[in-house]
């Protein structure tokens, strides 16, 4: 399972920390892309409750404006750990990994893809780990948790 990270402005007082407690973001406005993942929204609210707060405001926006608004300090946002930092925005892990997202590859047993599933899985797994290597913050997080892939294959971080 992949953790969920947070996007914050590089000028934010917490930006220099290697990890950020979710509770430290309790007073922040939250910006969200147009993704309508009901499970992620529920997971976010539950994580905030466990951290002792209700999110101040969750503003749904076009994904194209989330990064510029975060960079300008107008709020913070959740992010998949593969997201790369952009001008004015840093990506940080949330302390204690309060949320996670599982990547799944699903097909019907009767699908023409079924016979190619092992090859497809291997190819996508290799592509995933290539992306992980480009996502510096995630790579460092995985390294700190002892979850980097070994020469024999990926760790349990798939």
12/8 Cα distance (integer angstroms):
7
Contact status, residue 4 vs residue 96, Cβ threshold 8 Å: no
User: Mean pLDDT for each consecutive 10-residue tract of the chain (158 residues)?
Assistant: 96 97 96 79 94 87 89 95 93 96 87 91 93 94 90 53
What pLDDT is stored for residue 36 in this prediction? 66
Angle, helices 117-134/136-144, rounded to nearest 10 degrees: 100
Contact status, residue 91 vs residue 79, Cβ threshold 8 Å: yes
Contact status, residue 81 vs residue 3, Cβ threshold 8 Å: yes
What pLDDT is stored for residue 66 in this prediction? 92
What pLDDT is stored for residue 129 in this prediction? 93
- pTM of the full predicted structure? 0.86
How many alpha carbons lie under 13 Å from residue 105 in its C-beta half-sphere?
Answer: 14
E strand intervals along the chain: 2-3, 5-9, 30-32, 58-60, 77-79, 89-93, 100-101
DSSP of 21-35: -GGGGTTSPEEE-S-
Q: What is the CA radius of gyration of the chain?
A: 17
What pLDDT is stored for residue 158 in this prediction? 46
């Amino acid at each position: 399972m992949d953790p969920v990270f947070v996007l914050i402005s590089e000028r934010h007082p917490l930006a220099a920390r290697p990890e950020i407690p979710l509770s430290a973001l309790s007073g922040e406005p939250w910006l969200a892309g147009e993704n309508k993942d009901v499970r992620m929204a529920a997971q976010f609210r539950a994580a905030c409750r466990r951290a002792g707060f209700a999110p101040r405001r969750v503003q749904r926006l076009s994904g194209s404006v989330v990064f510029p608004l975060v960079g300008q300090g107008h709020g913070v946002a959740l992010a998949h750990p593969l997201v790369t930092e952009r001008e004015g925005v840093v990506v940080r892990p949330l302390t204690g990994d309060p949320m996670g997202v599982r990547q799944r590859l699903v097909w019907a047993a009767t699908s023409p893809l079924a016979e190619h599933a092992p090859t497809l899985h291997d190819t996508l797994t290799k592509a995933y780990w290539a992306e992980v290597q480009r996502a510096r913050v995630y790579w460092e997080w995985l390294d700190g948790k002892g979850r980097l892939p070994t020469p024999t294959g990926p760790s349990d971080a798939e």
